[in-house]
Structure 1
Amino acid sequence: MLSSIKRFLIGRPLKSNELGEQKLNKTKALAILSSDALSSVAYGPEQILLVLVTVSAAAFWYSIPIAAGVLVLLLALILSYRQIIFAYPHGGGAYVVSKENLGIYPGLIAGGSLLVDYILTVAVSVSAGTDAITSAFPTLHEYTVPIAILFVLFITTLNLRGVTESASILAYPVYLFVLALFIMIGVGVFRVLNGDVPPELHTPVGTPIAGISLFLLLRAFASGSSALTGVEAISNAIPNFKDPAPNNASKTLMAMGTLLAVLFTGIVFLAYQYGVVPKEEVTVVSQIAEHTFGRNFMYFFIQGTTALILILAANTGYSAFPLLAVNLAKDKFIPRMFTARGDRLGYSNGIIILGLFSILLIIVFKGKTEQLIPLYAVGVFIPFTLSQSGMMIKWLREKPAGWIPKFIINTIGAVISFVVSMMFFLTKFSQVWPVLVFLPAIVFLFHRILKHYESVGDQLRLTTCEPIVPIEGNVIIVPVSGITHVVEHSLDYAKSLKPHQIIAVYVPFEREEEEAFERKWESWQPDVRLVTLHSPYRSVIQPLTKFIDTVQRKAAESNYQVTVIIPQFIPKKGWHNILHNQSSLFIRARLLYSRNLIVTTVPYHLKK
């Protein structure tokens, strides 16, 4: 039944040689890998206004030069990540660049930051999309968290079906969103140029505003830079592209940058012209759409497509997180399970873990987007800064032809990214301080995992492991609970191994029971030694393990191997297991951690 449900949800398994069919073309890749960056225009401009409104609505004209600064940073990042794509065509992005050029610790900081950031990508995107829905339908506000969780489960399931299938489905909403915003911006700009927007709605550019300071403007710039989250995703996911992967990834990156610049500029411009003031329960895009079209079909079309892309922007995380996890797992910094492909050739373990942690974040933060965005944004700009700095080192060290312009581009990107990161820490410390806790914790965890893998490899390697003492014989211990076919089957198996000795162990709780069992055993299996361990405290595992320890110590003196054979009957129906006490399971779990002890289970399958 579970297998049927799995097949229904994620589809039939794919053969390994079908991997090439799971690669993305530029059109699908733009939708899947750019959805996070493109969707951020729905809340990036709003973050600028939320800072400026602390002075007054008259200060909104500053959003124009601030937006220009964000576009300069966007250009630097796009050009820089284009260089990263060709320099590191196997993916990995900021993690690989930082590790190879700045060292292990910067690489792990970038990698750990990005892992958490992709989890936040899903949580922020879905929460923002849910906000767009509840803006249009206010009665749904109290159900924000359940709605967001349902969306995460839907996107997780969709990604488990495979990259191309999820791309085929999710491409339509992304392009519908782009189309809707282009229509809104086009109509809005036409209305402004046509004089349909009263000039008194906004303060003229250049008007002196009391209370404005450089610190506040930098804070607004840092907040607005949250619109650039997701720019790095393409460089992490190069292996998902069809060949020639670097060329296709580069063209997709440039297309994404162009679309992001146009949409971001248009929304900031219209928000300023309309004099839009951020409200808690109505997004800036919702207000712009209402000003432009009124509450008609186009308004709901824009809100619907905005909600869709904000939710589906989470798919960028699902595309990039598993691939980053693969790079970290190959370097032995996170569990090897992240390198395994699932039935549909995707890295399903990474997809599932991403979904679970995203749901946890949504529950903890109660789906409040404004609380998640600062933490999300600073988690992006730390890798931005490290990757730009890493590329600077690379150009200085290698000095290839035409390296100076590349070095200048990376330097500009590194400086601006560093300033933005610092502004987040200075202005929103109460919201971003967890970064100072989880990043060192993650780096420490990475090193502990690496140390474990190195230790395991050292112990398993034939050239370094301890010499194995030859086994002179075998002593088999069989815990028995009665005289049954299950025990008989296990004893027959034990005898077939021709051991030095077989010891059956019975643990009675009463003396009368002990004596009666010994008499029955003597007549049933006289050639097998029986040891009874009376247990007045009704524990089976404790006396059994003590006896096994004693036998082990004596066997070690003669280089004998001790093997415990555990009889276990298997019910015909799985649910029948809950009707039995599963003693064999508990015994096996306890004994598996005993050194120099072999534990094996002999199953006996019931027929009815």
Structure 2
Amino acid sequence: MAQESVASTTSEVGHEGSEHNTKNMLGPLLCWAVVFADIGTSVYYTPGILYQTVHGLAGFFVFLTMTVFVLLTLKYAEVTHRYPQGGGVVTVGAQALNPWFGALGGMFILVDYFLTAAISSLSGIQYLSVVLPTLAPYILWVTVAVVILLGVLNWVGISESAKVSLFGAIIAFISDIAILVTVFSHISFGEFLQLFPKMFANQHLTGLALLIGFANAFLAFSGLESISQLSPVMKRPHKKVAGQALFLVVITIGLTSPLLTLFSTQLLPSNILTNPDTSGQVISLLAGNWGSVVLQTEVAISASALLVFASNTAIIGAYHVFMALSRMGFLPEVVLKRNKIRDTPHFSIALATFIPVAILIAVNGNINLLGDMYAFGLLGAFTLTCLGLDVVRTRDWKKARAARQQRLALSTQGNGHASVGSITSTHDLQLSQVEALSNTDTPLRNGSSLPLQEVQKETHGLWFKIDYVLGILTTLLVAIAWVTNLIFKRDATIFGGSITIVGMIIAYLYHARSRRVTGRVTVPVVVTRIEERMPNSILAILKPGDPRNEAVIRAAVNNNEQHRPVVFLYLSDAKARPHTPRMMEIVDPYLDDEQAKEAFGKAESMALNAKLPVRKYVYLQGQPELATQIWQMLHPKDTLVSAADVEENEKIKNINPDRIRYEVTPEGRVAHLLKRW
């Protein structure tokens, strides 16, 4: 089996949010606003870009891809539920597949953010030029100036507000509805129905054309990934809030994006759609052609503001991903440096700002070319997230089924010795302890996955089986779209592939250098459940700043000729951060705990040298009694602690071994708490 690095934490943010800051958490309406303010801007530039490749079929392909978008929302709602620390594809890739897939997911989403910042700001200035035609010759340089200004504002420390997003999202939605009402007031229902066969007139829809159009139309739904970045600031329960927010997203996007794409590509003159100077203004021009100058102006101004706002969201998301990858040990620590004036991560902000600027200049402000380049990161992130979630669901299903079988077997065994409903055997008692711990609202419930009993409940119903099959279908459809773009979107593949390869090379070189220079392996560790049993395993308990940690680690690795699974448990006494995290921030207390990362780094280095096939890393913030709970859950054969802990009886209170064996190492004495379960 491959290495699995996992952690749990009792941080208030990760569990239920800081109690004194829960009033600042986002409910369904504000979450909808943030996501709609991102996805809702796509309709402003998607029709013109799609028209360049699929012509009059743009509306058809947006309608077609809308079905997959609905399926994607089901998976992303579950991502917010399972990964409350945020991070989206970065966290899903690391926990479900491998730490390096987390880094790969980070590169994908960075490509997406770079192009979002570039294309949104450029489209925003194009819409503004409808009101201020004198801007037209200078659109590129005004856009560059706007992106740089956004970077400066982030350096100053001005962050996004969900309430501002709500204001902008409501205006945008009302404007979209006003355009639709205006168009419907000028055409009859019969004329509306005639638009559908008109789409296919003079169009030869081959299988290849269907694939290409389907893949290209995902541009209309870019921004869905932002819901997973809101997990740390989302009200609880995540599942309910995210579900309600995404239901609103589906309704509002479903009412606006497909119809606006259909109307703009069928009711506007073709010269507007083919002209690079006007193809990025089609929604405003649609409002003017079928409504009035007032509506055209209002749409242009609101679209411009919202697009620039979306560009700022992308910059914020990008620099938070840069920081997360650095905290994980994949990028140099300079990325984390903060300036002394404003205490903001100036280097990360500079990267998130000037890479989109360089892209804008490189393509000379060509929005159609930016649209072609967009697909790589967006669909790559979608695919990796969907695949990772399928893997986690499969693991849950298998473990829940095994637990049910074990309960049935123990129940049958118990009935042979006692009356029904009584627990008389040691095995029954142990099982009841594990279930009790899973049911309590302890810090162990916190994590990227669900408590065992909740998993058993969710995986037992018919809906889970339907959702599981739909999830695999969603993964296949998104992967097909991504592969299609990789083959037929040369610019996207070259640009996105280059950024990703360069980023992964930097990550590998920095990771290798860190290991060579410091002797420490820094791996990304994400929150996961820890309720499953691991009989015949070794549990090594580590403490903050304890010089005897290395002795415990060495004993766990060297006394393992049978290559039994090893669980390294780090009990941190650090307190959770008292402030509510910012939007788009990735919250994982382990990544801020340098002592824990150093201890786990030493353990991983020794485990790699010893070629141990299975090792887990568990990180907990809380009281020493948590070690007892982990011991009861895992059922380890050997529990290793420093000898001083046995004498002080602090970290191992209520651990009841059959016998204790002491080992002398160069770093100090280690106690082996042996138990035959």
The TM-score, its normalising length taken from structure 2, stands at 0.59
Q: 2:295 aligns with which of 280, 293, 298?
A: 298
Q: Which amino acid aligns with 1:79?
A: L
Instruction: Tell me, in whole angstroms, the C-alpha distance in 2 between the residues paired with 1:210 and 1:147.
Output: 38
Q: 1:328 aligns with which of 307, 325, 328?
A: 325
More deviation in 316-325 or 333-342?
Answer: 333-342
Residue 114 of structure 1: how far off its partner (Å): 0.7
* 1:20-46 Cα shifts (integer Å, max 9, x gaps): 787555544443444221100112233
Aligned to 2:151: 156
State whether residues 229 and 377 of structure 1, in contact with CA within 8 Å, keep that contact through their aligned partners in structure 2.
no
Residue 162 of structure 1: how far off its partner (Å): 5.0
Q: Secondary structure at the match of 1:367?
A: coil
Residue 120 of structure 1: how far off its partner (Å): 1.6
Residue 82 of structure 1: how far off its partner (Å): 0.6
Residue 264 of structure 1: how far off its partner (Å): 0.7
Residue 307 of structure 1: how far off its partner (Å): 1.6
Instruction: Tell me, in whole angstroms, the C-alpha distance in 1 between the residues paired with 2:285 and 2:199.
Output: 25
Instruction: Tell me, in whole angstroms, the C-alpha distance in 1 between the residues paired with 2:198 and 2:192.
Output: 15
Aligned to 1:48: 50
Q: 2:386 aligns with which of 385, 388, 395?
A: 388
Q: Which amino acid aligns with 1:378?
A: F
Instruction: Tell me, in whole angstroms, the C-alpha distance in 2 between the residues paired with 1:17 and 1:335.
Output: 34
Instruction: Tell me, in whole angstroms, the C-alpha distance in 1 between the residues paired with 2:200 and 2:318.
Output: 45
Instruction: Tell me, in whole angstroms, the C-alpha distance in 1 between the residues paired with 2:248 and 2:356.
Output: 28
More deviation in 418-427 or 186-195?
Answer: 186-195
State whether residues 85 and 250 of structure 1, in contact with CA within 8 Å, keep that contact through their aligned partners in structure 2.
no
1:90 aligns with 2:93: no
Aligned to 1:455: 516
Instruction: Tell me, in whole angstroms, the C-alpha distance in 2 between the residues paired with 1:248 and 1:163.
Output: 26
Aligned to 1:398: 396
Instruction: Tell me, in whole angstroms, the C-alpha distance in 1 between the residues paired with 2:514 and 2:336.
Output: 15
Count of residue pairs the alignment pairs up: 440
CA, structure 1 residues 176+447, in 2 after alignment: closer, same or farther (shift >3 Å)? same
Q: Which amino acid aligns with 2:216?
A: S
* 1:96-131 Cα shifts (integer Å, max 9, x gaps): 112222223433221111122212211111011122
Q: 1:132 aligns with which of 116, 124, 127?
A: 127
State whether residues 125 and 314 of structure 1, in contact with CA within 8 Å, keep that contact through their aligned partners in structure 2.
yes
1:212 aligns with 2:205: yes
Aligned to 1:285: 283
Q: Secondary structure at the match of 1:124?
A: helix
Q: Secondary structure at the match of 1:192?
A: coil
Q: Which amino acid aligns with 2:232?
A: P
Instruction: Tell me, in whole angstroms, the C-alpha distance in 2 between the residues paired with 1:199 and 1:384.
Output: 33
The TM-score, its normalising length taken from structure 1, stands at 0.65
Q: Secondary structure at the match of 1:433?
A: helix
* 1:426-455 Cα shifts (integer Å, max 9, x gaps): 322144322232222211111122223333
Aligned to 2:495: 434
Aligned to 2:306: 309
- Please give the residue correspondences for 1:9-158 in structure 2 after superposition, counting only pairs within 5 Å: 24=26, 26-53=28-55, 60=56, 62-158=57-153
CA, structure 1 residues 210+299, in 2 after alignment: closer, same or farther (shift >3 Å)? closer
Q: Which amino acid aligns with 1:426?
A: I
State whether residues 47 and 220 of structure 1, in contact with CA within 8 Å, keep that contact through their aligned partners in structure 2.
no
Instruction: Tell me, in whole angstroms, the C-alpha distance in 2 between the residues paired with 1:380 and 1:433.
Output: 15
CA, structure 1 residues 75+345, in 2 after alignment: closer, same or farther (shift >3 Å)? farther
Instruction: Tell me, in whole angstroms, the C-alpha distance in 2 between the residues paired with 1:356 and 1:246.
Output: 36
* 1:277-311 Cα shifts (integer Å, max 9, x gaps): 313221321331122214x1111111111122122
Aligned to 2:470: 409
1:188 aligns with 2:183: yes
Instruction: Tell me, in whole angstroms, the C-alpha distance in 2 between the residues paired with 1:160 and 1:174.
Output: 25
Instruction: Tell me, in whole angstroms, the C-alpha distance in 2 between the residues paired with 1:393 and 1:198.
Output: 44
Q: Secondary structure at the match of 1:417?
A: helix
Instruction: Tell me, in whole angstroms, the C-alpha distance in 1 between the residues paired with 2:509 and 2:44.
Output: 40
Aligned to 1:374: 372
Q: 1:353 aligns with which of 345, 351, 354?
A: 351
Question: Which runs of 5 or more structure 2 residues have no equivalent in the other structure?
Answer: 1-17, 398-454, 522-544, 551-677
Instruction: Tell me, in whole angstroms, the C-alpha distance in 2 between the residues paired with 1:136 and 1:312.
Output: 18
CA, structure 1 residues 207+458, in 2 after alignment: closer, same or farther (shift >3 Å)? closer
Instruction: Tell me, in whole angstroms, the C-alpha distance in 2 between the residues paired with 1:456 and 1:375.
Output: 38
CA, structure 1 residues 464+122, in 2 after alignment: closer, same or farther (shift >3 Å)? same
CA, structure 1 residues 245+396, in 2 after alignment: closer, same or farther (shift >3 Å)? closer
Q: Secondary structure at the match of 1:125?
A: helix
Residue 232 of structure 1: how far off its partner (Å): 0.7
Q: Give me the identity figure in percent.
A: 19
CA, structure 1 residues 332+206, in 2 after alignment: closer, same or farther (shift >3 Å)? closer
Aligned to 1:222: 215
Residue 335 of structure 1: how far off its partner (Å): 3.0
Instruction: Tell me, in whole angstroms, the C-alpha distance in 2 between the residues paired with 1:108 and 1:23.
Output: 28
Residue 241 of structure 1: how far off its partner (Å): 3.2
Residue 77 of structure 1: how far off its partner (Å): 1.0
Q: Which amino acid aligns with 1:385?
A: T
Q: 2:253 aligns with which of 241, 260, 267?
A: 260
More deviation in 318-327 or 163-172?
Answer: 163-172
Instruction: Tell me, in whole angstroms, the C-alpha distance in 2 between the residues paired with 1:205 and 1:293.
Output: 23
Residue 370 of structure 1: how far off its partner (Å): 1.3
State whether residues 391 and 407 of structure 1, in contact with CA within 8 Å, keep that contact through their aligned partners in structure 2.
no
Q: Which amino acid aligns with 2:68?
A: L
Q: Which has the higher contact order (CA 8 A, sep 6+)?
A: 2
Instruction: Tell me, in whole angstroms, the C-alpha distance in 2 between the residues paired with 1:17 and 1:154.
Output: 35
Residue 193 of structure 1: how far off its partner (Å): 2.9
Question: Which runs of 5 or more structure 1 residues have no equivalent in the other structure?
Answer: 1-15, 54-59, 466-608
Instruction: Tell me, in whole angstroms, the C-alpha distance in 2 between the residues paired with 1:273 and 1:370.
Output: 19
CA, structure 1 residues 464+411, in 2 after alignment: closer, same or farther (shift >3 Å)? closer
Q: Secondary structure at the match of 1:191?
A: coil
Greater Rg by CA: 1
Q: Which amino acid aligns with 1:281?
A: D
* 1:156-197 Cα shifts (integer Å, max 9, x gaps): 3444465766444454333322211111112212322377x7
CA, structure 1 residues 91+347, in 2 after alignment: closer, same or farther (shift >3 Å)? farther
State whether residues 33 and 165 of structure 2, in contact with CA within 8 Å, keep that contact through their aligned partners in structure 1.
yes
Aligned to 1:545: none
Instruction: Tell me, in whole angstroms, the C-alpha distance in 1 between the residues paired with 2:239 and 2:342.
Output: 24
Instruction: Tell me, in whole angstroms, the C-alpha distance in 2 between the residues paired with 1:108 and 1:138.
Output: 44
* 1:228-276 Cα shifts (integer Å, max 9, x gaps): 1111112023223355556544433332233222221220232355255
Instruction: Tell me, in whole angstroms, the C-alpha distance in 1 between the residues paired with 2:129 and 2:509.
Output: 44
Instruction: Tell me, in whole angstroms, the C-alpha distance in 2 between the residues paired with 1:375 and 1:448.
Output: 27
State whether residues 110 and 318 of structure 2, in contact with CA within 8 Å, keep that contact through their aligned partners in structure 1.
yes
CA, structure 1 residues 110+426, in 2 after alignment: closer, same or farther (shift >3 Å)? same
Aligned to 1:598: none
Q: Which amino acid aligns with 2:264?
A: A
Aligned to 1:274: 267
More deviation in 36-45 or 427-436?
Answer: 427-436
State whether residues 49 and 367 of structure 2, in contact with CA within 8 Å, keep that contact through their aligned partners in structure 1.
no
Instruction: Tell me, in whole angstroms, the C-alpha distance in 2 between the residues paired with 1:142 and 1:34.
Output: 31
More deviation in 419-428 or 26-35?
Answer: 26-35
Instruction: Tell me, in whole angstroms, the C-alpha distance in 2 between the residues paired with 1:35 and 1:456.
Output: 45
RMSD (Å) for aligned C-alpha atoms: 3.4
Instruction: Tell me, in whole angstroms, the C-alpha distance in 2 between the residues paired with 1:246 and 1:350.
Output: 31
Instruction: Tell me, in whole angstroms, the C-alpha distance in 2 between the residues paired with 1:18 and 1:161.
Output: 26
Instruction: Tell me, in whole angstroms, the C-alpha distance in 2 between the residues paired with 1:38 and 1:383.
Output: 19
Aligned to 1:606: none
